[in-house]
Amino acid sequence: MRRPIVWGMVWLGLAAGPAVERAGRLDEPAIREASGIVRSRRHPGIFWVHNDSGNPAVLFAVKLDGTLVRSYRVAVPNVDWEDIAADDSGHLYLGDIGNNDGRLPIRAIHRIDEPDPAMPSDAPLKATASSFYRFPEGKRFDAEGLFVRDGRCFVVTKRLDGVEAEVFAVRFDPPAPLLRPALLERVAALPGCSGPATGADLSADGRRLAVVTIGDVRVYEPGRSGGWSLIGAFRHHAPDVEAICWDGADLVLASEDRSIYRVAEAAWKASKGDAR
């Protein structure tokens, strides 16, 4: 095991970065811009990764060290895939939620049945359902964070103006068709999350939400009235981090430079008393 990278400074009111361990590297040449990552809830040791926009619609099953296990073509276009989520019913959710400069009036989330990475597939994976959404009047935004809870999908806004990120709910039961896209419902702001959010993940038990920005990681727990309470925050000091997921109680970060990092439970919990 490589030695962890330890950062020992306090900046912007955040806890000094905990032990951030470089866990591996995505050496598969086709994974050029890892933009989303989520741990499989059905296949131990498997993480699902996808590329950003401008790349083929492909889903990759990898190990924590970055080793490729299997790749699958997906039968929905990668307009701007920004994150991926999983539920307890064997589904994966591809968030085609990117919206640079707010140019697109409608975005989408696609649900697919999680494949068994031990089994190849000659045919592209089909979306079993897709939910399209539109924005409140005058509120078009970019988003790179996605999570699933209680049968709904949630997107986390990516702000470049220093305003706290917000969480919006997307109807998925039933899915909203393209011709009748659902109107986004604002749920809450994320306290202190004023940097551009580039990924999000909800723990399997639904008790903790992790959000990564360009410079820091914030961990929340559900609060009253659908809000979220900050319980931990630290600077990760890793370059180009675009994705985050839970691995049990540990955190895993994926970077566009192909690096995979791990933050142990004890390390991120040590930041609890310093969260702002």
Taking only the tens place, the pLDDT of each residue in 158-201 is 999 999 999 999 999 899 999 999 999 999 999 999 999 999 99
When pLDDT is cut at 50, 70 and 90, the band that residue 17 belongs to is low
When pLDDT is cut at 50, 70 and 90, the band that residue 248 belongs to is very high
Which CATH number among 3.40.250.10, 3.10.20.600, 2.120.10.30, 3.40.710.10 corresponds to the domain 27-274? 2.120.10.30
* Average pLDDT estimate for 35-43: 97
pLDDT of residue 22: 92
Asked if pLDDT for residue 276 goes beyond 80, the answer is no
Asked if pLDDT for residue 7 goes beyond 60, the answer is no
Written as one letter, the residue type at 262 is R
When pLDDT is cut at 50, 70 and 90, the band that residue 19 belongs to is low
State the chain's mean pLDDT as an integer. Answer: 90
Lowest mean pLDDT among 2-6, 146-150, 186-190: 2-6
pTM: 0.92
Taking only the tens place, the pLDDT of each residue in 97-125 is 999 989 999 999 999 999 999 999 999 99
pLDDT of residue 9: 27
Starting from the edge strand earliest in sequence, which strands make up the sheet with 250-255, in order?
A: 20-25, 259-263, 250-255, 241-247
d(CA 149, CA 220): 14
Asked if pLDDT for residue 6 goes beyond 50, the answer is no
pLDDT of residue 224: 76
* Average pLDDT estimate for 16-32: 85
d(CA 197, CA 165): 7
